[in-house]
Amino acid sequence: MIQDDKNAAITIHDVAAHAGVSTATVSRALNNSRPMSDELRNQVLVSVQALGYRVNLLGRALRLRRTFSLGLVVPDLENPFFSALAQRVSRAFIDSDIDVFIYSADNDIELERRAIQAFLGRQVDGLVLIPCSEIESKDNVLLADRTVSTVQFDRLVLSVPTRYVGCDNGHGMNLVAEHLKKNVDLQRQPPIFIGAGPASSSGHQRLSAFKKAMPEAKTLLGSFSFEWGQNAAHELVDQGITSGAIATAADVIALGVIAGVQERGYRVPEDFRVVGFDDVGVSFLAHPALTSVRQPVDKMTATIVEMVMNSATGVDNVANQAKTIFKPDLIVRQSSPLRKV
């Protein structure tokens, strides 16, 4: 019987013979386990590509006791901010030997637990979690942390010792309050906060910080969604409010607010100023361009990479500390410009 070459499994021995090196050299080149010259590694990789060889990931995992994989659990992927974070985390690991797999919990605690169990069953080298709830996600975060190196990202369950990388939400909202006080006639455009409720740490931290800085602000709470921002804008107009300086808990809410006030015939920023928070994912869609608090996502994801890589290789340094919090910046654009001198 003639063997179909297309169906024949290419082995590491075939690669070694094609490259004119030992199987041990092929293994070192593919696993990057020991230093070798670029010329020799390229020689192996050329043979790998020419033969169409595929690494047996299961065999490698059993041999090295690592799967070279990371699980990322996000609350939902319909929220463009979480989609953008997932993209940034994936991009941050491109130059590493770790593959990133993403699971959306659809804002459901049980699905969040299922996602964690699925990743633990696949023996990922690490987990990055954006918890659905500051309180209800506690057991899920503890489940992950008991088994594998785990990092909470963006949102935080305060009652667990699991490591966290995120933004200083209080500082961000203080920047917004300072901007409004310096650049807005608050008698004509009184402060308003449109937020997303206290279920997530980011939601309640931003609300608390803004209310502390501007206690006179009117407050409307809903969800992290475009629809909520739009509905909140209609609610304000229905209450007879025809001008204001609106700070929001997220850009996706701010976009809804802008759309809502414009639908009712009001202008931004002449009637309503609008300020977002995140400056990641959807802020470029705003018209006029959105003033927003910019989270330093590149710095945050770089820290996550360092944490995961350190844990995978047994390194312990300052990057593995319990909380790593970065201060954001305020990016001023047309939706709430600086006061004209």
CATH number for the domain that contains residue 44: 1.10.260.40
In-domain check, residue 334: no
Whether the pLDDT of residue 30 is over 90: the answer is: no
pLDDT digits (tens, 9 = 90+) for 220-270: 999 999 999 999 999 999 999 999 999 999 999 999 999 999 999 999 999
Strand order in the sheet with 329-331: 218-221, 191-195, 244-248, 272-278, 291-294, 329-331
pTM over the 0.85 mark: no
Residue 129 and residue 243 share a domain: no
pLDDT class for 29, splitting at 50, 70, 90?
A: confident
In-domain check, residue 179: yes
Residues of the domain holding 175: 169-295
Task: Give the pLDDT confidence score for residue 60 in this predicted structure.
Answer: 52
Whether the pLDDT of residue 282 is over 90: the answer is: no
Residue 280 and residue 178 share a domain: yes
Residues near 298 by Cβ (< 8 Å), separated by ≥ 6? 88, 92
Higher pLDDT, 339 or 51: 339
Highest mean pLDDT among 27-41, 87-101, 236-250: 236-250
Residue 252 and residue 149 share a domain: no
Residue 83 and residue 46 share a domain: no
Counted domains in the chain: 3
Residue 101 and residue 43 share a domain: no
**Closest of 290, 283, 296 to residue 246, by C-alpha:** 290
Whichever domain contains 105, its CATH number is 3.40.50.2300
In-domain check, residue 64: no
Whether the pLDDT of residue 319 is over 60: the answer is: no
Tell me the C-alpha distance between 84 and 15, whole Å: 39
**Distance from chain centroid for Cα 119:** 18
Residue 139 and residue 218 share a domain: no
Task: Give the pLDDT confidence score for residue 11 in this predicted structure.
Answer: 76
Whether the pLDDT of residue 58 is over 90: the answer is: no
Residue 290 and residue 175 share a domain: yes
β-pairing, 191-195 vs 218-221, is parallel
Average pLDDT over residues 194-198: 87
In-domain check, residue 79: yes
Count the residues in the chain.
341
In-domain check, residue 331: no
